[in-house]
A and B are shown apart, each in its own frame.
Chain A
Amino acid sequence: MKITKDEVSHVAHLARLEFTDAEADIFTSQLNNILLYMEMLNRVDTTGVAPMTHAVAQQNAFRDDIVQPSLSRDDTLANAPDARGDFFRVPKVIE
C-alpha cells in the first residue's frame, strides 16, 4: 500500500474535502494504483539534474509601479454567494 485510508482522510482535510466512507475506500484504491504506476520514476537516474518548473525560461515579469484601473467593488462582489456592504460574508470563524 502506498497510501492508507487514514492518510486519504488526512489529505482530504488538507485539501478541504470530505468523503463518505465508501468514497474514501474508492479513492484509496484508485490513488494506490496511480501512485504504484508512478514508482517507475525511481528507475530514472536524476543525480545532479536541476528540477524544471517552467517550460520556457522566463525571468520575473516586472512592470512600473503605476496605478491602473482595476475591477470595481461592485463587479468584484457581484458573484459573491453572500455579501453585505463592501464585504464578502462568511459563516462565523471564532466561537
Chain B
Amino acid sequence: MELNQLTIHALQEKIRSGKTTAVEIVQSVFQRIDAVEKDVNAYIVLTREAALEEAARADAAIRKGDIRTLTGIPIALKDLLCTRGITTTCASRILHNFVPPYDATVVEKLRDAGAVFTGKTNMDEFAMGSSTETSGFGITRNPWDLKRIPGGSSGGSAAAVAADECIAAIGSDTGGSIRQPAALCGVVGMKPTYGRVSRYGLVAFASSLDQIGPFSKDVEDCAILMNVIAGYDPRESTSVPAEVPDYRQYLARGIDGWTVGIPKEYFIEGIDPEVMTAVRKAIAVIEGLGAKCIEISLPHTAYCLAVYYIVAPAEASSNLARYDGVKYGFRSPDGRDLLDMYKKSRSAGFGAEVKRRIMLGTYVLSSGYYDAYYKKASQVRALIKRDFDEAFKQCNVILTPTTPTPAFRIGEKTDDPLQMYLSDIFTISTNLAGIPGISVPCGFTQGGLPIGVQFLAGHFEEAKLIQIAAAYEINANLEKRRPTL
C-alpha cells in the first residue's frame, strides 16, 4: 500500500518504528494529488511548499524524540477555517483574496499536535449547499464516480480523504455538511456536540448550528482527531468547559447490553432501496454485538427541514451582513456612493444560493413576519430537541441512514433548491438539537456508490458514538474497496 492510503494510526506506527519519515508521507500524498486532483478538484488551494517544510521540521523533531499525536500527518482544512497567511475564501468570490491575520483554534491545535497541512478544501459557498456545486471555484467530483457530486457542503474534505489526497481532513457541519459528504464518499465523519469544539476562526454561517468536526479513513482516526480538536476555548463564548475524555479508550469496549433506538420516522418511503438494505444489515450487525434494537419515535422529524430553512438562513443573513466591501474581500469599483457600493459588491460577490438564503433569512426576520416564521420555527425546534431528550431515556444511541440516497449526479438538483435541501433530511435534526452524530460506511450500491449509517447520542456523548461506530466497523466485515481513479 502507498503511504497516502494509510490511516493516521498506521502512519504513526511507521514513524515511531523508523520505517518512514514525515517527508516521505507528505511526498506520497502530493504524488497522489498530482495524479488525481485534476479529476476530483477537492482543493481550492494547495500548500505544497509549506507542507514539505513542515514535514522536514517534523522529521527533525522525530529524530529528537519529539513525536506528537499527529506528527508528520498530512491534513486538509475546509476553506472556511482561518489560516494565518493562507487565503480563506469560503469558496466565495466575495472572499477570493482574504488572507486571515490569525489561525483558527482548531488549526492551532492541529499544528501544535504536529499536523502538516496540505491545503484548503473546496466547499459549497459559505457552506450553503449539499453537493459542493455552489462553490465559486468549480465543482468537486465524487472519487467513486466522477459524474456524481461528493455531497456537501464539506465535499472537498470528504473527497480528499476518499481519494487519498490527504490522510484526514477537517470540515464543518451546520445541517449535515460533514456526515452527508462522508456517507456519499465512503469515509467516517463526525459532527461533535454544539460547544465541544471551538469555532474561533471558523467563518460563521448559522451560529446556533455550526460545529467543526473530522473526516477520517476509520473510526480510530476519528477518535485521534477528536482528542486533538475538542475542548474549551476562552476565545469562543459558546464553547463549553466540559471535560474531554480520551476517545481512544472507547474503541474496543463493545456495545453488549446497549439499547439502540431505531426512529420509525427515518425509515420512510422515498429512501433508496439499496440504502435501506445496507442500513438494515447494519442494524443486524449491531444486534449481533449484543445490543437490543428497539423502535422509537421522534414525532417532530417531518418539521426539521422547515425549521432549519428558517433558522439557518435567518442567522446567515445576519452573519453575512459583514461582507460589505469595506474591511476585506471584494469591492465593486462601480458604486456611486456607499449604499450603492454595498449593493454592487454583495450582488457581484455572492453566488445564487447564498443570495437566496440571505433573502429568505432577511424576509423571515423582517417586520411583520418574525413571529410567523422565526419565532414559530424556534418553538418547533424546542419540540424537536424534546423528542431527542425523550428518546435518550429509552436508548443509549440512535441509528439512522445518513442520507436518503447515494451520491446523485452533477447538475441533478441544482435547479430545484427544495429538492437539494431534502438530501439533508436525516442530518438536520442533529444540529437543531445540538447533539453529536457520526456517519460510518455501511456498504455499497450495486453501482459501487458508498452508503453511510448514522449514529446519534446525547449532548457531550461523542465517546458513545466512537464506541458503537468502532464496534460496528470491526464487525461489519465490509468489503475493502478503493475508488478507481
Q: A: which residues have CB within 8 A of B? A: 3, 7-8, 11-12, 14-19, 27, 30-31, 33-35, 37-38, 40-42, 44, 46, 49-56, 58, 60-61, 63, 71, 75-76, 78-82, 88, 90-93
Question: What's the minimum C-beta distance from A11 to chain B, rounded to whole angstroms?
Answer: 5
The CA of A17 and the CA of B352, in the complex, are separated in Å by 11
Mark out the residues of chain B between 318 and 375 whose CB falls within 8 Å of any chain A CB in the assembled complex: 321, 324-331, 335-344, 346-347, 350, 355-356, 358-360, 362-363, 366, 373, 375
Question: What's the minimum C-beta distance from B358 to chain A, rounded to whole angstroms?
Answer: 5
Number of A-B residue pairs, CB cutoff 8 Å, is 162
Question: What's the minimum C-beta distance from B409 to chain A, rounded to whole angstroms?
Answer: 21
Q: Which of B238, B363, B376 contacts A31 (CB 8 A)?
A: B363
Q: B: which residues have CB within 8 A of A? A: 97-99, 101-102, 193-195, 208-209, 234, 237-238, 240, 300, 302-303, 305-307, 309-310, 317, 321, 324-331, 335-344, 346-347, 350, 355-356, 358-360, 362-363, 366, 373, 375-383, 385, 417-418, 431-434, 459
Question: What's the minimum C-beta distance from A79 to chain B, rounded to whole angstroms?
Answer: 4
A55 close to B195 (CB less than 8 A): yes
The CA of A81 and the CA of B325, in the complex, are separated in Å by 7
B328 close to A75 (CB less than 8 A): no
- The residue of chain B having its C-beta at the shortest distance from the C-beta of A47 within the complex is B379
Enumerate chain A residues within 8 angstroms of B341, measured Cβ to Cβ.
90-91
- The residue of chain B having its C-beta at the shortest distance from the C-beta of A55 within the complex is B434
Most buried by A among B335, B362, B366, B417: B362
- The residue of chain A having its C-beta at the shortest distance from the C-beta of B313 within the complex is A34
A40 close to B195 (CB less than 8 A): no
B347 close to A90 (CB less than 8 A): no
Q: Which of B240, B340, B355, B381 contacts A17 (CB 8 A)?
A: B355
Main secondary structure, interface of A, reads: loop
A90 close to B338 (CB less than 8 A): yes
The CA of A44 and the CA of B68, in the complex, are separated in Å by 52
Q: A79-B329, A90-B326, A92-B337 are in contact. Are A40 and B306 (CB under 8 A)?
A: yes
Q: For the complex of A and B, list the 4 residue pairs with the smallest distance between their C-beta atoms, beginning with the closest.
A: A55-B434, A51-B378, A79-B328, A81-B331
A31 close to B356 (CB less than 8 A): yes
Q: A8-B359, A19-B347, A55-B208 are in contact. Are A93 and B338 (CB under 8 A)?
A: yes
The CA of A44 and the CA of B306, in the complex, are separated in Å by 12
B99 close to A17 (CB less than 8 A): no
- The residue of chain A having its C-beta at the shortest distance from the C-beta of B421 within the complex is A34
Question: What's the minimum C-beta distance from B239 to chain A, rounded to whole angstroms?
Answer: 9
Q: Which of A11, A16, A76, A91 contacts B336 (CB 8 A)?
A: A91
8 residue pairs from A and B, CB less than 8 Å apart: A11-B359, A17-B350, A31-B359, A31-B360, A44-B379, A54-B208, A58-B240, A92-B338
Identify 18 new A-B residue pairs, CB closer than 8 A, beyond the known A42-B376, A52-B381: A14-B366, A15-B358, A16-B343, A18-B347, A31-B360, A35-B363, A37-B418, A38-B310, A46-B376, A46-B380, A51-B379, A51-B381, A54-B434, A55-B195, A55-B434, A75-B101, A80-B328, A81-B328
- The residue of chain B having its C-beta at the shortest distance from the C-beta of A12 within the complex is B359
Most buried by B among A16, A42, A78: A16
B306 close to A27 (CB less than 8 A): no
A81 close to B355 (CB less than 8 A): no
